Amino acid sequence: MANRYITCFSAGDRQGGRRMLRLKGLTINSDDCEGSAAFWSSALGYQRRDLWDPYIGLRDPQGNDPLLTIQKSGPESVNRVHLDLYSDDPDSEADRLVTLGATKLRRFEEGDTYWWVLTDPKGNEFCIIASTGPDRRV
């Protein structure tokens, strides 16, 4: 069943012959990261991969997508789950999505990557992450 959804997201991902955004990961906000990571790791058979604080990564043992990230947040968090979209050019993609009605909230740089946090026209947060580093190449 999960592969059917992934196929749906990858269909039609080219505009004018160039790769657009790719759904690669989901992020779950939690005030108990260890508990959430243990639950989702067991539920999905995913392996833990420690990232920098406040993140815990979970990955399919065969390397299939999507990646799952548990992010430390308080109970007042706006979104409990958000999309992580990957791009070779996050700045241009963020600008393109703004023309479609998205709003840029902030840009982050951590470790060996950077990303934009945006909201869709209804206020739902999502991220556009640079496709750099071994865990993010598509």
Q: What is the pLDDT of residue 12?
A: 41
pLDDT at 6 over 70: no
99 lies in a domain? yes
Q: What is the pLDDT of residues 72-100, one digit of tens each?
A: 887 776 677 888 888 999 999 999 999 99
CATH number of 66's domain: 3.10.180.10
12 lies in a domain? no
Count the Cβ atoms, other than its own, within 10 Å of residue 19.
14
- Residue 110: domain span: 20-130
46 lies in a domain? yes
57 lies in a domain? yes
122 lies in a domain? yes
How far from the centroid of its chain's Cα atoms is residue 16's Cα? Answer: 24
Instruction: Quote the number of domains for the chain.
Output: 1
2 lies in a domain? no
104 lies in a domain? yes
pTM above 0.85, yes or no: no
Ramachandran region, residue 101 (left: φ > 0; alpha: ψ -120 to 50; beta: rest): left
